[in-house]
Chain A
């Protein structure tokens, strides 16, 4: 069992749309005997926008966070840096790769760090919180912590793009199952569906299918996910990225109108599902921030969808 505390890089969305993710992760990690410590004085990672403008600058932004994490570490060993938003996860991980590859780019970024009195030693390991839950804390510990098994809850685990692309460090690139296993460990039923890693349009949107750069495209992409998940009987969509969660949650009304199919399915963070099963208070998990939250109030699992009671 892991009792170590982890350095946590929240990213910008953690104080905005993704607040529920950070809150629920924090609560779940504490409950399991470990904890997340926010990296002090972290800065924006550049997400997916800045690399398109100037890749080296974007790497430098991420590199500062990594160098700070090393600096603050209690010893000289490897430092796990957790990033929950997959946009941040990818940005930090890519920067870590480039820095470790030792070439002109690494030197350039190293120079930028030097200019602010920092240096990168190559000790960080950028990881995603569900990697830690699955592989460090472990499913056994999670199962033991369940007080309210979510029997009968059908969950569509949606991984999105960046968790397994371009780097698939802890799960399969085409058919990831890490979230499915976590959800199963708390008694729920992950459904089998083909769109686990299909893009939700998150990157083109920066504000969703209403404000974003390509609203129609985003709407189509997100709608396809919701349609397929509900068709296959999902009660809820579990996500691991604030952008995905928001995209899938926020525009179901418009999508229903646009595509003529009623949609009313909760899109939540997987840590919120885990937290509820562990009996953690809803407020600590940020459940109140969700637009919709419905747990099926029935046991055992019914054959087809029934009336969902508000939890």
Chain B
């Protein structure tokens, strides 16, 4: 879709004298040749009408393969090309380019998928060969009717947007801003920083998370090219590649952001003497007041008033000591939601993840026994700015003497999530180290496999082993407060089979930490509909190709970065964010995108003015001329779905590359010969 300009000709090779079709059948190594009888297909293709040349080659997509096509075109042997190989979603662009290189308009090309749709899915070789022949015949009959089309382009707007202000969004935004682009960074929470801002230390280096993150957050704040919109979210996206119009909603803080200096006097002076409401930032482990700032280094350093809990909003009766306390007169309780509409050329989605809800596994006791914690809760305990100022304490304030860490909670589990969340083994080892360091407790890690694949990760595991952390290889059956022996009294007991010694163990602990897995955000489906991309079966956003295109999506101009695309650790997140930024920059700097060639158009003479098509177009690309009583398609806005074409009773509406004649021909082709 995004093709470079070079190689595209505007003068097609003449097709006077009728179509001369070249059919090229790919072996794809053994991927196709191992199942389909290539020779038979080539032989068959050569008997089809208008086929001038039928060849086969081991890897059509390679340079020599493409050269075969280009040579035949240059020498005038063929003027239309059919390649029978993999999926057009894979290589249509490649072969269109080759066609263009050979001097013919790239749209005189059609592909037959005999790999994904034939050799890879058909058990019997003879049946596979017959099916391949049918699909090749369809492609040959169709391409004979292809018409000349000019490749068109549209300009890409220079500004870009990043949705999500965690480490992925921050890194992508900084990279693009440093390249001189204007970046809108939209974050739903009152502060950027995401999950990383909640951690104490990061593996494997045990760097202080805030120390490495806050300079980047600060850089975002002070970068003149970044417009930072926090406590905001995207509510509407219109337009298309290179020209998106995005509507952003800003929620009211009831504080004027440009006046607030973050002195926090208002919080101190709030009529509530102490926090009363669950502090979301601290995972509910502490209480906050209705007026709050998520954490001391929040960016921007502006307080938020929560209308759900503030007395003023609930009853209208409050001395509003906060207003009094503010020397900058920054309060404005009349604030309402505001909206902004901006036009951008490309967007990066970096909306992050949520952790698995451990309450879904009652056998582990979360919510039933007070001293069962999730890993994120323990991160807050360990954090010096957290609810216990960095002390690891039980609910009653005492220090644990024995701690059990359970891996794979919610992950690698047929009842919850099948996937491995990738980061939990490492963070569980990290927590083991930190808990031991802070409390001197005995620590037991219960794991299924130890997954430490990154740089320095295995070495980190070694280090933890040497520190005397006990490792039990076995999936934990349950956490109970049943005491089967005197040693177990007043403890929580973790029951697991220690598969390395082949026996079931009961280990009494004071504290249980559940290594909860990573899952998609709860509103991932809503978000992906907003941006017109898709989610995989598990709910993470779908990348264009899992190996070769991990940051782009099937919607050109929308890119992905970070855990919203799949579980990953911080180094991979930052790498992906950089990659997404690079692809955005490539698009924006080139300045244009190639448009869909398959737009619709309406043949004036045939149009009867019935207006059936006008209301059908979801993009309002069709207008009606009342005087002439004819409908017109605006081909710049048209996205090429073909709905109007399918509906037009007179056949006046036609779709380039998918004309009725072409499709009828393809239908005949797949049925007439085999």
Interface residues of A, Cβ cutoff 8 Å to B:
172, 174-175, 193-195, 224, 227-228, 231
Contacts and interface: CB of A to CB of B under 8 A. Distances in A.
16 contacts: A172-B362, A174-B362, A174-B363, A175-B362, A193-B482, A194-B480, A194-B481, A194-B482, A195-B480, A195-B482, A224-B482, A224-B484, A227-B484, A228-B482, A228-B483, A231-B483
Interface in B337-391: 362-363
Top-8 shortest CB links A-B: A174-B362, A194-B480, A194-B482, A228-B482, A174-B363, A175-B362, A194-B481, A195-B482
Interface string B452-493: 000000000000000000000000000011111000000000
Would you call the interface of chain B mostly helix, strand, loop, or mixed? loop
Given A174-B363, A194-B481, A228-B482, 4 more contacts: A172-B362, A193-B482, A224-B482, A228-B483
Would you call the interface of chain A mostly helix, strand, loop, or mixed? loop
Contacts of A224: 482, 484
A224 B506 CA distance: 14
A116 B121 CA distance: 44
A195 B495 CA distance: 13
Contacts of B481: 194
Contacts of B362: 172, 174-175
A192 to B, nearest CB: 9
A214 to B, nearest CB: 15
Contacts of B480: 194-195
A189 to B, nearest CB: 19
Nearest to A193: B482
Between A174, A175, A193, A224, the greatest number of chain B beta carbons within 10 A of the residue's beta carbon is seen for A174
Contacts of A194: 480-482
Nearest to B481: A194
Between B363, B480, B482, the greatest number of chain A beta carbons within 10 A of the residue's beta carbon is seen for B482
A174 B363 CA distance: 7
A172 B361 CA distance: 12
Contacts of B484: 224, 227
A194 B484 CA distance: 12
Contacts of A228: 482-483
A145 B80 CA distance: 88
Nearest to B369: A194
Nearest to B479: A194
Nearest to B480: A194
Between A172, A194, A195, A228, the greatest number of chain B beta carbons within 10 A of the residue's beta carbon is seen for A194
Nearest to A175: B362
Nearest to B489: A231
Contacts of B363: 174
A227 B485 CA distance: 10
Interface in B551-571: none
A310 to B, nearest CB: 30
Interface in B469-527: 480-484
Interface string B401-429: 00000000000000000000000000000
A95 B484 CA distance: 37
A174 B360 CA distance: 10
A174 B477 CA distance: 12
A100 to B, nearest CB: 22
A123 to B, nearest CB: 31
A195 B480 CA distance: 8
Contacts of A193: 482
Contacts of A227: 484
Contacts of B482: 193-195, 224, 228
Contacts of A231: 483
A157 to B, nearest CB: 15
Contacts of A175: 362
Nearest to B362: A174
Contacts of B483: 228, 231
B540 to A, nearest CB: 28
A172 B363 CA distance: 12
A175 B482 CA distance: 15
Nearest to B361: A174
A227 B482 CA distance: 10
A195 B482 CA distance: 8
A172 B359 CA distance: 14
B512 to A, nearest CB: 14
A261 to B, nearest CB: 12
A224 B482 CA distance: 9
B94 to A, nearest CB: 45
A13 B483 CA distance: 33
A224 B485 CA distance: 10
A218 to B, nearest CB: 15
A248 to B, nearest CB: 16
A195 B362 CA distance: 13
A194 B362 CA distance: 11
Nearest to A220: B484
B114 to A, nearest CB: 34
A224 B488 CA distance: 13
A175 B366 CA distance: 13
A228 B493 CA distance: 14
A228 B481 CA distance: 10
Interface in B602-649: none
A195 B477 CA distance: 13
Nearest to A223: B484
A195 B483 CA distance: 11
Interface in B202-249: none
Nearest to B365: A194
A171 B484 CA distance: 27
A265 to B, nearest CB: 16
A87 B363 CA distance: 23
A195 B363 CA distance: 11
Interface in B71-105: none
Nearest to A172: B362
A93 B183 CA distance: 61
A29 to B, nearest CB: 32
A255 B178 CA distance: 76
A174 B480 CA distance: 12
A287 B481 CA distance: 33
A195 B481 CA distance: 9
B251 to A, nearest CB: 38
A193 B481 CA distance: 9
B132 to A, nearest CB: 34
A232 to B, nearest CB: 10
A193 B482 CA distance: 8
Nearest to A227: B484
B364 to A, nearest CB: 10
A175 B484 CA distance: 20
Contacts of A172: 362
A246 B363 CA distance: 27
A175 B480 CA distance: 12
A175 B367 CA distance: 13
B192 to A, nearest CB: 39
A228 B482 CA distance: 7
B415 to A, nearest CB: 10
A263 to B, nearest CB: 15
A182 to B, nearest CB: 21
A298 B482 CA distance: 29
Nearest to B493: A194
A193 B480 CA distance: 9
A196 to B, nearest CB: 11
A158 to B, nearest CB: 13
A194 B493 CA distance: 11
A224 B484 CA distance: 7
A227 B480 CA distance: 15
